[in-house]
Chains A and B, each alone.
Chain A
Amino acid sequence: MNQLVYDFIKQNQDYILTEWMDIMKESTDERLIKVVSDRMFTQTSSEFIDMIITHVDSKNREFTLKLSDFAEKVVQLGWPLTFVNEGLHKFTLIVINGMVEKGIVTPGNQVELVNHLDKWSTPINNEIVNIYTQTWERTVSLQKIALQELSAPLIPVLEGITVMPLIGTIDTERAKQIMENLLTGVVKHRSEVVLIDITGVPVVDTMVAHHIIQAAEAVRLVGAKCILCGIRPEIAQTIVNLGINLNEVITKNTLKKGIEVALELTSRKIVKVEG
């Protein structure tokens, strides 16, 4: 770090912080202000500036550690990356302008100083983008795994009767998983009847219907019966409009009715105990 720049930043830490916060507040859009409370903004801002200033006099590795901590925090807060980038840019601007005002910058060393600051801030910038994307990627992949775990559970409810509740959008990937879990589950639990509940599926288009028909057919092939339940009135209407033939599958409008039918199919019924 150039001694002139270093001294200036060190001496004017407070000035830079207040100036920076004013500029950032002015230039940021409404979106951010809504996300972050005033206190949080001030606190995180001073942390950000603090961090940049530590970078001025600390070792690179220590800085990277601090930066990744900060980036994670900012991602959690939901600050946009552009804001942090903009922040760094504004920081260098404030330093240059401040130095011009104080007369530290002379026509002789101007170019050198600007180049120097640029060289200093570019790696920080890259590091921020890098850590930011890494944090995001990790979050996304974690969520993907979490979603996969939720995607097609098969629950044995009574002997010979299993339920697969489906919630959310069904895409090709999930349809494959549904089929797999259904078939392995039917064999594993020795199910006679499998209930597929689609109460939580927002849209049943021809692809989803096709997958359901295929799943029901496959279940039939392994020797069990398939009941489709949870068909909401609007879904029933769209299925009719689409002209999809679900005659091969037993359908019921609620899971409760489905289980009743499943009990019937396995020659059992629920009896109230007297006494």
Chain B
Amino acid sequence: MEFQSCVKIINEWDIVAARQLGRNVAKELGFGTIDQARITTAISELARNIYLYAGQGSVSIEKLNINGKSGLKIIAEDQGPGIEDIRRVMEDGYTTSGGLGAGLPGAKRLMDDFDIESIPGEGTKIVATKWLR
């Protein structure tokens, strides 16, 4: 971890700020346009979940460099209601807000590593990484 920046998600426009940040960092790291779109879309999904379910939280973007491999790490954190059943939210088509239910499983497919931790009543932390190939 050598570089980190963070966007607080409070209103809908912060989602745009978060993905703008993600896109800039992805560009700097040398990701291609398709991966840039994947990363920005994943950030958009995670940030929107914070906005929709937790009300507020934060999205941080980190540049990674491990064993000569560089990558981009997204950390989405909130102190919201948490997720009761993580397995269900990772299923395609499961939604509690009338959406498409593709956000979390989709974000997982868009990224290389995807890790989700949640304690009901305390909050959720999602860490997702994309490696530069």
Interfacial residues, chain A to chain B (CB-CB below 8 A): 169, 171-173, 202-207, 209-210, 213, 233-235, 237-238, 241-244
Which single residue of chain A is at the shortest CB-CB distance from B33? A234
Count contacts between A and B, CB distance < 8 Å.
Answer: 66
Q: In chain B between 9 and 57, which residues have their CB closer than 8 angstroms to a CB of chain A?
A: 12-13, 16, 19, 33-34, 36-38, 40-41, 44-45, 48
Picked from A169, A173, A238, the residue with its CB within 8 Å of the CB of B37 is: A238
Picked from A210, A235, A241, the residue with its CB within 8 Å of the CB of B110 is: A241
Which single residue of chain A is at the shortest CB-CB distance from B39? A238
Contact across chains for A238 and B100 when beta carbons are under 8 A apart: no
Contact across chains for B105 and A243 when beta carbons are under 8 A apart: yes
Is B68 interfacial (CB-CB < 8 Å)? no
Question: Within 8 Å CB of B102, what residues of A?
Answer: 206, 209, 242-244
Interface residues on B, range: 20 to 34
Interfacial residues, chain B to chain A (CB-CB below 8 A): 12-13, 16, 19, 33-34, 36-38, 40-41, 44-45, 48, 92, 99-100, 102-103, 105-107, 109-110
CA distance A204 to B34 in the complex (A): 13
CA distance A243 to B37 in the complex (A): 15
CA distance A242 to B101 in the complex (A): 10
Contact across chains for A203 and B99 when beta carbons are under 8 A apart: no
Contact across chains for B38 and A202 when beta carbons are under 8 A apart: no
Question: Within 8 Å CB of B16, what residues of A?
Answer: 169, 171
Task: Jot down 7 A-B pairs with beta carbons below 8 A, ordered by A.
Answer: A169-B16, A207-B48, A234-B36, A238-B38, A241-B41, A241-B106, A243-B106
Query: B101 to nearest A CB, angstroms?
Result: 8
Which single residue of chain B is at the shortest CB-CB distance from A171? B12
Contact across chains for A241 and B45 when beta carbons are under 8 A apart: no
Query: A193 to nearest B CB, angstroms?
Result: 25
Picked from B44, B92, B106, the residue with its CB within 8 Å of the CB of A203 is: B44
Question: Within 8 Å CB of A213, what residues of B?
Answer: 100
Contact across chains for B13 and A209 when beta carbons are under 8 A apart: no
Contact across chains for B92 and A243 when beta carbons are under 8 A apart: yes
Picked from B12, B34, B45, B99, the residue with its CB within 8 Å of the CB of A237 is: B34
Which single residue of chain B is at the shortest CB-CB distance from A204? B41
Add 7 more A-B contacts to A205-B48, A241-B38 (CB < 8 A): A205-B41, A206-B100, A207-B99, A234-B36, A234-B37, A237-B34, A242-B109
Question: Within 8 Å CB of B106, what residues of A?
Answer: 206, 241-244
Which single residue of chain A is at the shortest CB-CB distance from B11? A171
CA distance A171 to B47 in the complex (A): 13
Assuming the contacts A237-B34, A242-B102, asked whether A203 and B40 have C-beta atoms less than 8 A apart, the reply is yes
Assuming the contacts A242-B102, A243-B105, asked whether A237 and B38 have C-beta atoms less than 8 A apart, the reply is yes
A-B residue pairs, 3 tightest by C-beta: A242-B106, A234-B37, A205-B44
Contact across chains for B100 and A241 when beta carbons are under 8 A apart: no
Assuming the contacts A238-B38, A243-B92, asked whether A171 and B44 have C-beta atoms less than 8 A apart, the reply is no
CA distance A48 to B103 in the complex (A): 53
Contact across chains for B45 and A205 when beta carbons are under 8 A apart: yes
Assuming the contacts A206-B102, A207-B99, asked whether A243 and B45 have C-beta atoms less than 8 A apart, the reply is no
